[in-house]
Amino acid sequence: MAHNKSHATFGRLLLTGAAGGLGQQLRPRLAKYARHVRLSDIADLAPASGPHEELFQTRLEDSQAMLALLEGVDAVIHLGGISVERPFDEILQANIVGVYNLYEAVRRQGVRRVVFASSNHVTGFYRQDEVIDTKAPPRPDGLYGVSKAFGENLAQFYYDRYGVETVSIRIGSSFPVPRDARMLATWLSYDDLERLVARALLAPVVGHTVIYGVSANTVKWWDNRHAAHLGYVAQDCSEPFREEVMAQQVPLDPQDPASYAQGGAFVRAGPFE
Q: Is 145 in the site for a second copy (CB under 8 A)?
A: yes
Which residue's CB is nearer to a second copy, number 189 or number 224? 224
Could you check whether the bond before residue 271 is cis, i.e. omega within 30 degrees of 0? yes
Residue partners of 89: CB distance under 8 A and separation at least 6: none
Q: Return the DSSP state at 173.
A: B
Interface with a second copy, residue 227, by CB under 8 A:
yes
Q: Tell me the residue type at 77.
A: I
| H-run or E-run covering 39 | strand 34-40
**Cβ contact 127:262 at 8 Å:** yes
Asked if 219 touches a second copy (CB under 8 A), the answer is yes
Tell me, residue by residue from 147 to 186, as one string, x for binding to a second copy by CB under 8 A and - for no binding. --xx--xx-xx--xx-x-----------------x--xx-
Give catalytic status of residue 33 as yes or no: no
Q: Which of 48, 233, 240, 244 binds a second copy (CB under 8 A)?
A: 233
231 near a second copy, judged by CB under 8 A: yes
Q: Count CA within 13 A, CB hemisphere, residue 228.
A: 4
**Among the candidate windows 15-23, 27-35, 38-46, 213-221, which touches a second copy by CB under 8 A?**
213-221
Q: Which amino acid is at 30?
A: L
DSSP 180-245: STTHHHHB--HHHHHHHHHHHHH-S--SEEEEEE----SS--EE-GGGGGG-------SGGGHHHH
Least spacing, CB of residue 71 vs a second copy, in Å: 17
204 binding a second copy? (CB under 8 A): yes
| Active-site entry in 100, 144, 212, 232 | 144
Contact between 146 and a second copy by CB under 8 A: the answer reads yes
Residues engaged in binding a second copy (CB under 8 A):
88, 92, 96-97, 100, 104, 107, 112, 125, 127-131, 135, 137-143, 145-146, 149-150, 153-154, 156-157, 160-161, 163, 181, 184-185, 203-207, 209, 217-221, 223, 225-233, 252, 254, 259-260, 267, 271
Which sequence positions are flagged as catalytic?
Answer: 144
